[in-house]
Amino acid sequence: MELDVSLSGDTATVTVAGSRIDAAAAIGFKEAMRAAVPAGSRRVLLDLGQVAFIDSSGLGAIVSVMKSLGDGQRMELASLQPNVDRVFRLTRMDTVFVIHDRVQDAAPGHAG
Amino acid sequence: MPAEPGMGRVATVSAPRPGPDPFSTEFTASALAVRQALTGFADWIAPLDLDEVETGAAELVLAEALNNVVEHAYRDAGAGPVMLHCSFGQGGLSVLIRDRGVPMPSMRVPLADLADGQRSPVDLREGGYGWFIIRDLARDIGYERRGAENTLTFRIAIGRTLWAG
């Protein structure tokens, strides 16, 4: 799975360049994330703006990546499309992750 | 089928619209084959012009149910056949999924709960959300084991105003 990474201060913004994080993509997503996230980033902002569909396997993959982050690293999410947002709400993951409406809302200084 | 000019319109207004032809597909269980089946389902449902969120709910429930077949029914048995059948009626979208894998645990559809005490990130589990999602979005969930076959049926209350039949 293709990921685009941009660094700004202590934030690594990781943009998922694909429309699905489903069961067929989950393992590839986890591997790509582990390779993409710089160890020195204190905040990992996952931009899901291009993702139209996620299932529980994709959700599990995001949880797995979050749990594998080092001490002092945290993951936040941005730009959830409606069908992605629903999966996070149904499973109460919206209470676990900080979720920003837009990537620009999560810029340093705006972080929740 | 192209309508005869000037003939189709009155009939369309006065007669209840029949639902679209059902959607059926059969495939060998794998995550990629599930994705392809969902693409076929999306192509089938797209012309009905349902709300994106309704369509997304149906696609999500189908994904969870079909992924369960791949990951559980055929986990140890090796990949086998999966049949998916979808049709519209008065109750919305009716779905039937059939496979020849192992039966559900205790011969019934799993209960699903979001476990308490998993709200700290350390305790957060990485799986087990599938049945929770299905139970939340689907209605009239039925399961039958007959011979070597599992049959799961459920209904998703979408498109009910469009299809009366």
B85-106 pLDDT, tens per residue? 999 988 899 999 999 999 999 8
Read off the CATH number of the domain in which A49 is found: 3.30.750.24
Residue B17: both structure tokens together: 């619209």
Question: How far apart, in Å, are the Cα atoms of B78 and each of B69, B75, B156?
Answer: 11, 6, 30
Got the DSSP string for A37-97?
Answer: S-TT-SEEEEE-TT--EE-HHHHHHHHHHHHHSPTT-EEEEE---HHHHHHHHHTTGGGTS
Q: What residues of chain A lie within 8 A of the CB of B129, using their CB?
A: 56, 59-60, 91
> Does some domain include residue A37?
yes
> Does some domain include residue A112?
no
B52 to A22: CB separation less than 8 angstroms, yes or no: no
Q: How far apart are CA B90 and CA B14, in angstroms?
A: 18
Print the domain residue range for A56.
Answer: 3-106
pLDDT band at A82 (very low <50, low <70, confident <90, very high): very high
Number of domains in chain A: 1
- For domain B18-156, which CATH number applies: 3.10.105.10, 3.30.565.10, 3.90.850.10, 2.60.40.10? 3.30.565.10
pLDDT above 60 (res B14): no
CA closest to B36 among chain A residues = A24
Angle formed by the axes of helices A56-68 and A82-90, to 10°? 70
% of chain A surpassing 70 pLDDT: 96
**Beta strand pairing status for B139-146 and A74-78?**
unpaired
Residue B164: both structure tokens together: 């009366």
The C-alpha of B15 sits at a distance from chain A's nearest C-alpha, in angstroms, of 34
Domain boundaries, chain B: 18-156
**Beta strand pairing status for B139-146 and A43-47?**
unpaired
ipTM: 0.92
> Does some domain include residue A79?
yes
B125 to A87: CB separation less than 8 angstroms, yes or no: no
Residues 38 to 57 of B: which have CB under 8 A from any A CB? 52-53, 56-57
